[in-house]
A and B are shown apart, each in its own frame.
Chain A
Amino acid sequence: MSISRRKFMQAGAAAVTGAAIAPGIRLVELAQARSPEEAASTAKRWGLLIDSAKCAEGCSYCVDACHTEHGITSNNRPETDAQWIRKVTAKDPETGYTHFLPVMCQHCEEPPCVDVCPTGASFKRADGIVLVDKHICIGCRYCMMACPYKARSFIHEDITDQKSHVPRGKGTVESCTLCVHKIDRGDNNTACAEACTELGNDAILFGDLNDLKTEISRRRRTEPSRQLRSDLNLNTGVRYQGL
């Protein structure tokens, strides 16, 4: 029996792809999980899909979960208190139709905050998460002015008892990190999305936009969604439905 080289290679590749080293564990899946020594790569792009039709009036479960996860507390000065995620009410002035949506850092592919930062503290990680390197942030707040989504906060006062996974300090700017510590840990979810699912609203979906097999990719492909301020061509990682 003769077999061409090409067919032999194809059969070999198929065998490797399907090879299971134990029931339920495949080599391919193992390769996808990032180890603590491995750097974040452009193979992933993390994002959110938010369905405003499912976002309930008066509910702030996602906001509370975010602030609990990151140790954000109030100084009872709402104008200067840090806020990584907020509920926005949108009303059609013609019809009076009102709906609600959580707004946080949209994790743009072309982030204006990164463009304007004079020290390079504002940066985009390889996997699409927009962050602030607080070690070199000088607190100039240019990024806060540049952000079209008002997503960033400046820390005005000394902070003590921070969470060990979320360093926060006076004189620096901060915003939603897309729960980067949870992503690096392999949780593959954010505190806000977890809270919304726990409540049963399921308005926030987190996932890898580059992986065609994820639920977020499937829904982005098959259902209508839009970016906030799509006219700015920022290609946001956070998209909305029902707007």
Chain B
Amino acid sequence: MMTRFLILFVLLFGFTSTGISVAANAGNTDKSDTIRTPLPIIKITKPGQCVDDTDEMRRNHMNKILHQRDLTVYDGIRTKQYSLKNCVNCHADENTNSVLGKEGFCESCHTYAAVKIDCFSCHTDKRDVKTSVSNKDDNKGNPHQ
């Protein structure tokens, strides 16, 4: 009787420990190969520091943008260093010319953090491409042509 219990115990313990180790291995595989939560893709095409160091910018860029927006709108202060236009010019993807999109500098991180970006419902997400103001071809689609 005692021997039977012993065998049962050994078998049960054996199965359980095997199960645990398999599960643990599976967990390890998840972490190294296929991550359930996709990490943001941060592409820095123009390295350097024009406003503040990376840690500060990652945590507080929204406050800096908020501060600058009121200075620009109400007082007409348009310093290049803190302008959103300048941020986009540097951080836009080289292929898409945009900070949005799956691999876009802004959208990639904001998707990961689940924070909606409001900026680009009004501001352009594209790098500023110099065009001539007097170029009349730009007028396509203008109702008053």
The answer on a CB contact under 8 Å between A64 and B76 is no
In the assembled complex, A26 has its CB within 8 A of some CB on chain B: no
In the assembled complex, A24 has its CB within 8 A of some CB on chain B: no
In angstroms, Cα B32 to Cα A187, docked, is: 57
In the assembled complex, B95 has its CB within 8 A of some CB on chain A: no
Given A68-B139, A73-B142, answer yes or no on A165-B77 (Cβ-Cβ < 8 Å): no
Chain B residues whose CB sits within 8 angstroms of the CB of A11 once the complex forms: none
Chain B contact residues (Cβ within 8 angstroms of A): what range? 20 to 34
Question: Within the complex, what minimum Cβ distance (angstroms) separates B74 from chain A?
Answer: 7
In the assembled complex, A54 has its CB within 8 A of some CB on chain B: no
A39-52: CB near B (< 8 Å → 1, else 0) gives: 11000000000000
Spot the interface stretch: A168-176, A204-212, A223-231.
A168-176
The answer on a CB contact under 8 Å between B73 and A133 is yes
In the assembled complex, B133 has its CB within 8 A of some CB on chain A: yes
In the assembled complex, A29 has its CB within 8 A of some CB on chain B: no
In the assembled complex, A78 has its CB within 8 A of some CB on chain B: yes
Given A161-B124, A164-B128, answer yes or no on A133-B143 (Cβ-Cβ < 8 Å): no
Number of interface residues of A (CB under 8 A): 45
Given A162-B122, A169-B122, answer yes or no on A67-B142 (Cβ-Cβ < 8 Å): yes
In the assembled complex, A104 has its CB within 8 A of some CB on chain B: no
Chain A residues whose CB sits within 8 angstroms of the CB of B136 once the complex forms: 64, 68
Chain A residues whose CB sits within 8 angstroms of the CB of B133 once the complex forms: 68-69, 191
The answer on a CB contact under 8 Å between B73 and A36 is no
Chain A residues whose CB sits within 8 angstroms of the CB of B75 once the complex forms: 39-40, 125-126
Chain B residues whose CB sits within 8 angstroms of the CB of A161 once the complex forms: 124, 126
The answer on a CB contact under 8 Å between A162 and B123 is yes
In angstroms, Cα B139 to Cα A217, docked, is: 33
**Known A133-B73, A198-B134; further 15 A-B contacts with Cβ < 8 A:** A60-B144, A63-B144, A68-B138, A73-B141, A74-B143, A135-B69, A158-B121, A159-B122, A162-B123, A162-B124, A164-B85, A164-B88, A164-B128, A172-B122, A184-B76
